[in-house]
Structures are given as structure tokens and as C-alpha cells.
Structure 1
């Protein structure tokens, strides 16, 4: 077959596929909805173009009064079922704590920025319990975990009035892909995030051809999303969510379920003000959490409600059967590494908490990117004085390969340095 004929066959096949994907018999999810996630654009210096990451979740909502009643009552059922659950001991085993040297002989101590002897700082876990009978009237937060199985609907993104066909969603409804835009397009589309920096963001839309019949009575559905195209040089904050900026009580299964599915999301006092102060100094934010993507709508509302700076939000892919579920440590390491590799000339500040593996993950990343990571802040969530020595041992062990001036343990965010120049001068 000649080269010309090969090209003709390929072109015809592509055209046929494109037409078939948008035909009425193939696009049949009239009620399908999309949740697009804010992501990064990465500049490719070899090609001179930006790779724009598209990431979204397509799902079919379940409707009906009975299901709504079930969703609204499910949080209470969950809480009653685990009423007797005690604090898990498996966290300490997972951490696999190792003491760096003989602490008594070296007389090493970890400085923790405390709460001025706040009597509530070390309350026992069971000392205070809120009324767990409160039911979230909005079934949406739980409803996203019980959607109907998604179908492979073809979607397209519209950027600057130009349509880009996306790959079909996978069996879980996830849509992932990359589009290439020129630097000129990015500059024309983007608006400055900070007045004195070159960090940009722009919105685009994802479209579903919603009708499954030849008679289309309603317009196609459009869903807006944000892309961040940052300057090659600059400062970014990589922040955890649970127990770093939002109270979750990850170390307790009972409290974690309550704060995730029952109670209104509550902020950690002082963290929003700290992040706002950093944002005003041209810092860009990337939220990385092991929470599932299904919580994105609620988390997005939480960030806006409590005035946290907006930015990219990276959550873990979840599907029943756990086919795509990566271990939290693996997921966080991979996700943060991708961010650092996307912008290798930027500087980073890490913020996390001691409830899970943030100290171990961040210290490992520091050994991989010592020139990029300027500071690590860990919020100490220890509630009892008895566990303080163990926590100190853990921090010293985790950060044994990180210079002492590069990491800080704190309890009160209001005592964390807000001047970025002082933080990065260390």
C-alpha cells in the first residue's frame, strides 16, 4: 500500500470515528454530569508549547425521593454502627518509627510552637464529643459515592472557542488527557493570579452532547474548569488538607467518618489567615490529599467559604472494588513529584500534619529535591502529653536527613512565620 493510500485510509477512519462518537446512537447519557478538577499546565521547552492537563469525572446521578432519604440518613447509620470504635493502634505500626540516635545521650529535643498552655490543646480523644445525631440534609457529599455506573460518553473541551475532542471516560467515569497550546495562546487566555507575579490562570469548558435522540430539545451541557499556568520561577505552597487545614481526626476512625460524612467541614483555626498572608506575597497553592475525588465538590465549597487561596486540588482516584486506589504514601509521593517536575525551577514550602505520614513523605521528597524545598511545616495533632516523647522521637527520626532549620513543628498556626522572605532566607 502506497504512503498516500495509507494516509487516506487513516484520515477516513479518523473522520468516521469522530462522527460516530458524536452520533445519537453513541452518545446516550442524557443525564450525565461532569465534575472537572483544577489542574496545571506544563511548559515543554523542547517543543515550545504548553501541555494542558485535563482531568474530570463523569457520572450518572441517582435520583428519587427514597434514595435521597437513604443518603440523608446514612451518616447517622454509619455513626451508630461505629459508636463503640476506639482509637486505632495501627497508625503507629504503619509509621514504623525509628529513633535517630540515643535521645537521652544527645539530649535532643524537638521545638514545637505551642498554644501558650491552652488547656484544650491536649484533651483526651473521648473527653469531648459533639452530637453525632446531626444529619447532613444535603445528600450530595455521600451521593457522589453511590452514583450509577458511568457510561463511556465522548466529551470535548472548548478553549478560546476552539474544540478539542477528549478521550472517552474510563469504566469509572474518569476523563484524563493533555492538550497542547502555544505560549501565545496561554498569554492571551490567562489572567494574573497575583498582581506582582507572572502566574496565570484561565477557565475552559467541557461539553457533553447530551441527547440520545435525533430530536435535540435542549442545548449541550457545559461545565467550567480552571487551569493554572505558572511562571517558571516563583514560590508554591504544597499543602495537605485533612488535619492540616480541615479538622478530620484521621487517627480515629469514628471521628474521621463523622468529620467526613456527618459534620459540616470545620477549618483549623488560624490556617486560613496564614495562607492568606502567604498568598498576598505571591505564593501559589497546590492542595494534595489522600481523600477521594468524590469529596471535591464539598472541599471546593469549604475552601471558598473559609477564604483559603484557590489553586490546584489533587485528590485520590477512588472506585468501588479499589481497582484504582493507591496507598496514601505512594499516591502523595507520585503526585507531589509530578508537581515539582512540572516546575523544576520553582521553590516550594510543604505544609502537613502528624496525623498520617506527612513528616516521612516530606522528608523523603526533600532528599530528592533539596534545592527546591525551602521549608517544611508540620502541624502536630498530638492530643495527650503522654505521647509527646514518642512524637519527638518520630520527628527526629523522620527529619534526620533534613537540616534542622528547614523544618518546623507547630500547634498554633498564628505563631508560624508569615513573612515569606524570612522563611526562604533560611
Structure 2
């Protein structure tokens, strides 16, 4: 059974750091537009919605960031210095080698105190007020008729994703759009790590990690785009959970789209250059991943989950803990073997203690698990 005290301890720090409002009914009438200046932008992150069968309503989050684009030399130098320090060694990379789409999101000016209003299927909602890091987040509620989608409609691909737009002042002709993945109460979901699971990163080599993240084109792990596309074809919902910072969402999303990975929700890490955690910018955080995954499992008690990760950092330990805490929901665990490990190694015996042996496996190539994963999804 889930440990409520543990879950609460993990979630509270995140809730305090963010603007988080408990679910509510649609706001009546027309709300004031978002308080956005002409030189500021909104980036929405994809979230999920769940159908509350008892109340007959959809409950969903809206999450985004308000920022002013910036490319200042001081921030650029600070970021590069922070990245090199985080590698714990001398890494010689010319400042001009950093790809603009990777480094620019870290250089923006985060805008705090900005209220955001959105329009979802003709319903206007107050979506929150941006915090010091520019992020805003709010939990909202709307009945099925208001969204025009009932749980019976989720089987149709065109009904799974609900798009919405920011409500802006009448003089502002720009458009900032987001999406909510409406997920049925029952079915199969895939929770996937990103680095070294579906994208080559070499997390265990800090110098290579820096270069693969900021100076080289992203590369997909062979066979994973095809496997995920096959899973999407049989109706699996996707949640991408990573220790990578939210600033990398735009290039990651573009890479996923280019490679054919299915759309899904993203669950990344909060980071600011002013944070004392700067040296851990590219490190995976066990507590961060658990705080992202446990609410998913709690939100969909009747869905079954497949967990995919790698052996480079803490995925075996995280997934093993989840399998013990949620034994009826975790259908299978698949760990990409990037450390040349053996299944009988003490690490895995400890990580998967009390987890049935047929519930988890190591793999080197996607072809080794394709049939098993597809069968679980069906």
C-alpha cells in the first residue's frame, strides 16, 4: 500500500515552491485576460486530466511558465561556468559550441506575479499566478459536457488531447497554446525515463553528459521510437519523467516529435541559475522522480503501469520501491542495461527485493522486450 506520510513529505516542498490551487469549478463569466506584457511569453507544458467517476467531472492541471526572452552574455557565462563545475573536473568546451536551442531557455528573465487566464473548450479559467521562477500551476475541474469529452470518447485518438489557449489582452494578437492529455480511468500507461533510456546521454560520464545535452544533436536509442509508436497504436498513455530541468523541455519536445515518439506529459526538474542546487543541474534526483510518479499512480488506481528506465542511476531502486508500494498497478519493469550489469548482481537483488522475478527484466536492445511489452499493453 502507498505510504501517505512519505508521499506527503515529497509533495509538500514542491507545492510550497509553486503557485498551487486545489481543484475548482469553471469560473463564471468572462475573466480578465492574462497580465502579459508585449515582451513576455507563456510556455505551457503538457499535463494530464483524469475523469472522476464519482463526481462525473474532469480534474486536470495547467502548468506553464511566464518569461521574457533574453540572451545576455553575463547569464551565458554563468551558466557555462555552472555546467562545467557540475562535471567535477576540467572540461574544455568552447562557449560557441553550445547549441542555441539548448542554452537560450536558461537565459530568459523569469517573470513573477503574472496572472494567467486560459480558454478550454469555451470555458475560461484562472490558471494561476507565476512564482519567482516564472512557473505557475493550478488544478482545475470541469464537467464532461463543458469539455465536450466523456470517458467513453477517450478510445478515439483525436479525443485524447485537449488543446487550450491563453486569454490575452485584445490588443495582443499572439497565441500561446497548451495541451491536456485526457486519460480514461482504466487502461495501460507507460512511465518512461528519458536520459539513456530513449535518448543517448551517458549520464555516468559527466563530461559526455554535458556535451550530449548542450553541444551535440540528440540521438534516440535504436528501436525505442518504433517500440513507443507501437505502444501508442494499442492505446497506451505516455508520461516522460526525468531529472532534466524544465528548461530543456522545448528541445526535448522537438526531438521527440522529430523521432516519432508519441506525445505525452512531461515531469521534469525545477532549476534556476540562482539556486544553490546549481551543481546538480544535470543530476537525477530520486525524490524528484518519486514525487512525479506517485501522484500518477494515485490518480489512476484502476490503470496498469509499465515502467521503463535504465541502470545508469537510480531507476531500478525507484521502480523497485514503486512495485512494492503499488503491487497491483505495476504490470512490468524494464531496465535498459547501460552498465554491463548482470541480473543477479547484488544491486538488482536489493532494488527488486520482494518484487516477483517475472515482473522485471534487464535488456540491451529494444527488440529483446518488444513482444513482452506489447503483450502487457494489450
1:7-406 paired onto structure 2 within 5 Å: 27=35, 29-63=37-71, 67=73, 85=90, 138-188=99-149, 195=156, 200-209=160-169, 218-322=171-275, 328-382=285-339, 388=341, 392-406=345-359
2:324 and 2:343 mapped to 1: Cα distance?
Answer: 24
Q: Which protein has the larger Cα radius of gyration, Structure 1 or Structure 2?
A: 1
Who is 2:368 aligned against? 415
CA contact (8 A) 1:235 1:284 kept: yes
Who is 1:100 aligned against? none
- State the shift of 1:189 in Å: 8.7
Deviations 1:344-385 (A, max 9, x none): 1001100000111000000000111101111000001115xx
Change in Cα spacing, 1:78 to 1:135, as seen in structure 2 (3 Å) is: farther
1:261 and 1:396 mapped to 2: Cα distance?
Answer: 35
Q: What's the TM-score, normalizing by structure 1?
A: 0.72
Greater Cα shift, 311-320 or 338-347 = 311-320
2:320 and 2:271 mapped to 1: Cα distance?
Answer: 26
| 2:334 match: secondary structure | strand
CA contact (8 A) 2:190 2:308 kept: yes
Change in Cα spacing, 1:396 to 1:280, as seen in structure 2 (3 Å) is: same
CA RMSD of aligned residues (A): 3.6
Change in Cα spacing, 1:391 to 1:381, as seen in structure 2 (3 Å) is: farther
- State the shift of 1:203 in Å: 0.4
- State the shift of 1:138 in Å: 4.7
Deviations 1:51-96 (A, max 9, x none): 1200001111115xx749x95998699679969559xxxxxxxxxx
- State the shift of 1:184 in Å: 2.1
- State the shift of 1:290 in Å: 1.1
Change in Cα spacing, 1:28 to 1:201, as seen in structure 2 (3 Å) is: closer
| 2:219 match: secondary structure | coil
Change in Cα spacing, 1:324 to 1:235, as seen in structure 2 (3 Å) is: farther
CA contact (8 A) 1:73 1:135 kept: no
Give unpaired runs (5+ residues) of structure 2: 1-26
2:40 and 2:287 mapped to 1: Cα distance?
Answer: 31
Greater Cα shift, 42-51 or 186-195 = 186-195
- State the shift of 1:188 in Å: 3.8
| 2:320 match: secondary structure | helix
Give unpaired runs (5+ residues) of structure 1: 1-13, 87-130, 210-215
CA contact (8 A) 1:79 1:258 kept: no
| 2:214 match: secondary structure | helix
CA contact (8 A) 2:60 2:140 kept: yes
Change in Cα spacing, 1:277 to 1:418, as seen in structure 2 (3 Å) is: farther
Q: What's the TM-score, normalizing by structure 2?
A: 0.80
Larger relative contact order (CA 8 Å, sep ≥ 6): 1
Change in Cα spacing, 1:53 to 1:306, as seen in structure 2 (3 Å) is: same
CA contact (8 A) 1:274 1:418 kept: no
Change in Cα spacing, 1:152 to 1:291, as seen in structure 2 (3 Å) is: same
Question: How many residues of Structure 1 are paired with residues of Structure 2 in the alignment?
Answer: 346
CA contact (8 A) 1:36 1:57 kept: yes
Change in Cα spacing, 1:73 to 1:291, as seen in structure 2 (3 Å) is: closer
Greater Cα shift, 232-241 or 327-336 = 327-336
Greater Cα shift, 302-311 or 159-168 = 159-168
Deviations 1:247-274 (A, max 9, x none): 1111111111111111111111111111
